[in-house]
Chain A
Amino acid sequence: MSPPTRPLLTPGRAAALSLTLVAAVFAVDLCLPLGVASAVPYTFAVLLALRARPWWFVLAVAGLCGVLTVLKMGLVPERGTTEMWKVVVNRCLALFSIGMTTLLGVLGRRAEAGRREAEGKMRDHLATLAHLGRLHTAGQLATGLAHELNQPLAAIGLQAEIAEQFAAGGDTNHDALMISLAEITEQSQRAAAIVKTLRRLTQPGEEKPGPVDLNDVIRSVAPLIDREARRAGADVQLHLTDPLPPVWGDRVQLEQVVFNLLRNAVEAVAGVARERVARVESAAEGDAVTVVVRDTGCGLPPGDPERVFERFYTTKPGGMGVGLAISRSIVESHGGRLWADREPTGGAAFRCRLPAERGA
C-alpha cells in the first residue's frame, strides 16, 4: 500500500533537458566543419522529448532538430576536403536517425499507453468484483443478522414480560425482578453490538487503517455466521490466543476475510456424515500473527490446492468464485500470506499470516 516513488525524470525536467541538449548539439555542430556527422546526437534530444508532455512535444523537438540539421549547411560554408555529396548524405543520415527515433519512440509510447489502459481496466474490474463480493456477503449477512438479532430480542421480550409479572405481583420477588432487568440491559447491548458490526461491514471506507486486534475481528464476525452454522448443524469453535499483538490494516477488510473463510468452512461441513466442526484459531508466531480456519468438511478439490484462489473458481452451486480470490488480495495488500492445506482428517485448513505491528 506504499505510494509509488517519484521518478527522477519528470515530464517537465525531460522537456527542459531535451531543449538544452538541442541547443548544445547545435552549438557544437556550428563549431565543426561540414564534413563531421555532428548532427546525430540530436537523436538523444528526441529520446528525452519522448518523456515530456504534451504528446506532440516530441514531434516539435524532432522537427526543430531536422530544421537545425539542414540549417547548418547554409550557416557554415567551410567544408574542408569533404565532397559536397558526402556532406549531403551525412546530413540525410542524421535526418533519418532523428526521424526513425521519433517514429519508434512514438509507437513505443502508444503501446505503453495501451498496456497501462489495459492494466487500469483490470484494476477497475477487480474493484468491481470486490464490491460485488462485498454486496453478496452483505446480502447473506443481512439474513444472518436478522436471525442473530432475534435471539437478544426474544430474550428481551420475554424478560420484560417476566419482570412485568413480578412487578405486578408486588414486592414478593425483588431479586427475580432485578435479574430480569439486568438481563434486558445486557441483551440490548448485545443487539446494539450486532447492528454496529453490520454497519461497519456494509459501509466500508469509513475507517482508516490502524492497529487491529484479530481476536476482536474473529469475535465480531463469528456471531454473523451463526444462522448458517445452525442450518448446517456445524459447531463453530474459537480457539484464540489472548492477548494477540495487533496487525496494521483495514479492520473491515480483515473482517471480510475472516467471514469468507468461516463461511466457506461452515458450508464445507454441511452434509458430511462425521463430526461437523468449523474451528478458528489465532496465535502469535514470532513477528507475525496467524489465523487458521479449519474444518472437518468435504475437503479441497483434487489437484493443486492453489486453484481455489483463482477468480471465478467455485465448487458451490450459486457461488461466484471470488471470495477466496478477494480474501487473498486483501491479505497480500496487508503484507501477509493466505494459503490452503489439506487436513489429515480430510477437511481443509486455510492459513493466514499477517505481520504484527511493531512497538504498538
Chain B
Amino acid sequence: MSVDPLPTIFVVDDDAAVARALAGAGRLLGYPVRAFDGASSFLNAYDPVLPGCLVLDIRMPGMTGLELQRKLADDGVELPIVMISGHADVRTAVEAMTLGALTLLEKPFRLDELMTQIRRGVEWDAANRAARARKDSTAARLAQLTPKEREVLELIARGKTNKEIAADLGLSVRAVEDRRARLMKKMDAKSVADLVWVRSAHGDRGS
C-alpha cells in the first residue's frame, strides 16, 4: 500500500475575507489548505482520492453550497462537509443535514467550534476510508472463493455444523472440514465469528 496523503482542508466560500479566515483555521490545525471562490472551481480541481474535509458556504452565487453538496452525493463522493451559513433558516439547515453534512455552523462562530468540527471531519473521513478499504479487500477475497467454498460459507453463516453441512451437500465430514480450512485461509479469518462478520459486512450477496 502507498503512503496515505495528508488530509487536506478544502475551503469553498465566495467571500474572499471569510475564505481566508477559514483557511487560517485549517492551517492552524496543521493541515494543508486549498481555498476556492466557488463550487465550480472546486469541482474542477477536486480529486476524490484526496482525504480531508470540506468547509463549504451554503449560499454562493452560481452553484450554491447545497447544490454542490447534492452533486458530490450523487457522484458518490463521501467527503465530510462542515457547512457555513450566514443565517440558516430551518429548511436549509434540515436539507443540509439530511444530505449528510457533518454539521452546520452559523456565522459568526468561534474558532474553537470550527477547529473541532474540522478535526472531527478529518477523523470521520479517515475512518470512512479505512472501512471502505476493508470492504474492498473483503470483496476481493470473496471473489477468490470457488462456488463450492462459497456454498459452504453460506451454510456456516446460517449456523450449521460440519455434520449438517456434510449431509446437506452429500459430502463426507472430512471434505467439509477441508473446504472450511481453505475458506478460513482465503478469507484471512481467525474464527468462525470473524468469517461470518466479514461476509455480512460485505452484504448478503451470496444468499
**Is the CB–CB distance between B61 and A233 below 8 Å?**
yes
In the complex the two chains form, what is the Cα distance from A341 to B67 in whole Å?
32
With A153-B107, A153-B108, A158-B111 as known contacts, state yes or no: A233 contacts B21, CB within 8 Å: no
- Closest Cβ of chain B to A11, distance in Å, is 61
Complex-state Cα separation, A338 to B92, whole angstroms: 38
For B89, the closest partner residue in chain A by CB is: A231
Asked if A235 is at the interface of the complex by the 8 Å CB criterion, the answer is yes
Interface size class of B (residues with CB under 8 A): 20 to 34
Are A150 and B17 in contact, with the CB atoms below 8 A? no
Q: In the bound complex, do residue B15 and residue A151 qualify as a contact, i.e. CB atoms below 8 Å apart?
A: yes
CB distance from A219 to the nearest CB of B (A): 16
Which one, A161, A187, A231, A235, contacts B110 given CB within 8 A? A161
A113 → B minimal CB distance (Å): 55
**A151 contacts which chain B residues (CB < 8 A)?**
15, 17-18, 86, 107
Binary interface encoding of chain B residues 174-185 relative to chain A, with 1 for a CB under 8 A from any of its CBs, else 0: 000000000000
Q: Which of A194-251 contact B (CB under 8 A)?
A: 227, 229-231, 233-236
Q: Interface segment, B22-30, B46-54, B155-163, B193-201?
A: B22-30
**Chain B residue with the shortest CB-CB distance to A152:** B17
Cβ-defined partner of A190 (8 Å) among B17, B62, B107: B17
A82 at the interface (CB under 8 A from B): no
Q: A151-B86, A153-B107, A165-B28 are in contact. Are A230 and B21 (CB under 8 A)?
A: no
- Main SS at interface, chain A: helix
Q: How far is the CB of B84 from chain A (nearest CB, A)?
A: 8
Choice from B62, B86, B112 contacting A235 with Cβ under 8 Å: B62
Nearest-CB distance from A239 to chain B (Å)? Answer: 15
Give CA–CA (A151, B24) in the complex, Å: 15
Instruction: A180 to B25: give the CA distance in the assembly, Å.
Output: 11
Bound-state CA distance A342–B87 (Å) is: 35
Contact with B along A143-156 (1 / 0, CB 8 A): 00011001111110
Q: A150-B108, A154-B108, A161-B111 are in contact. Are A180 and B62 (CB under 8 A)?
A: no
CB of A174 to closest CB in B, whole Å: 15
A235 to B, closest residue via Cβ: B61
Q: Classify chain A's interface size.
A: 20 to 34
A338-360 Cβ-contact flags toward B at 8 Å (1 or 0): 00000000000000000000000
- Measured in the bound complex, the distance between the Cα atoms of B24 and A226 in whole Å is 24
Could you tell me if B111 and A155 are in contact, using CB atoms closer than 8 angstroms?
no
Alpha-carbon distance between A158 and B21 when the two chains are bound, in angstroms:
6
Q: Name the B residues within 8 Å of A153 (CB-CB).
A: 107-108
Contacting residues of chain B (48-91) with chain A, CB-CB under 8 angstroms = 59-64, 67, 86-87
Q: Could you tell me the distance in whole angstroms from the C-beta of A116 to the nearest C-beta in chain B?
A: 51
B20 at the interface (CB under 8 A from A): yes
Q: Smallest Cβ distance from B42 to chain A, in angstroms?
A: 16
Q: Please tell me if the beta carbons of B86 and A227 are within 8 angstroms of each other in the complex.
A: yes
Minimum CB distance partner of A157 in chain B: B108
Per-residue CB contact flags for chain B residues 5-38 toward chain A (1 = under 8 Å, else 0) read 0000000000101101110110010000000000
- Which residues of chain A come closer than 8 Å to B111, judged between CB atoms? 157-158, 161-162, 165
CA distance A194 to B97 in the complex (A): 32
A162 to B25, CA, bound (A): 7
Alpha-carbon distance A103/B73, docked complex (angstroms)? 87
Known: A155-B18, A230-B59, A230-B61. A150 touches B24 (CB 8 A): no
Among B62, B64, B67, B107, the residue within 8 A (CB) of A154 is B107
Residue of A nearest to B66 (CB): A233
Flag whether A253 is at the interface (Cβ < 8 A). no
Shortest Cβ distance from residue B41 to the other chain A in the assembled complex, whole angstroms: 13
Partner of B64, one of A150, A157, A233: A233
Cα distance A176–B23 in the bound complex, in angstroms: 12
A159 in contact (CB, < 8 A)? yes
Q: With A and B bound together, what is the CA distance between A154 and B85 in angstroms?
A: 11
**A235 CA to B59 CA, complexed, in Å:** 12
Give the distance to chain B from A305, nearest Cβ to Cβ, in Å.
27
Whether the Cβ atoms of A230 and B64 lie closer than 8 Å is yes
User: Given A230-B64, A230-B86, 14 other A-B contacts at CB below 8 A?
Assistant: A147-B87, A150-B108, A152-B17, A154-B18, A155-B20, A157-B109, A158-B21, A158-B25, A158-B114, A161-B111, A230-B60, A233-B62, A233-B67, A276-B62
Q: List 12 A-B contacts (CB under 8 A).
A: A147-B86, A150-B107, A152-B17, A153-B107, A155-B20, A157-B109, A158-B21, A158-B108, A162-B21, A176-B24, A233-B63, A234-B61
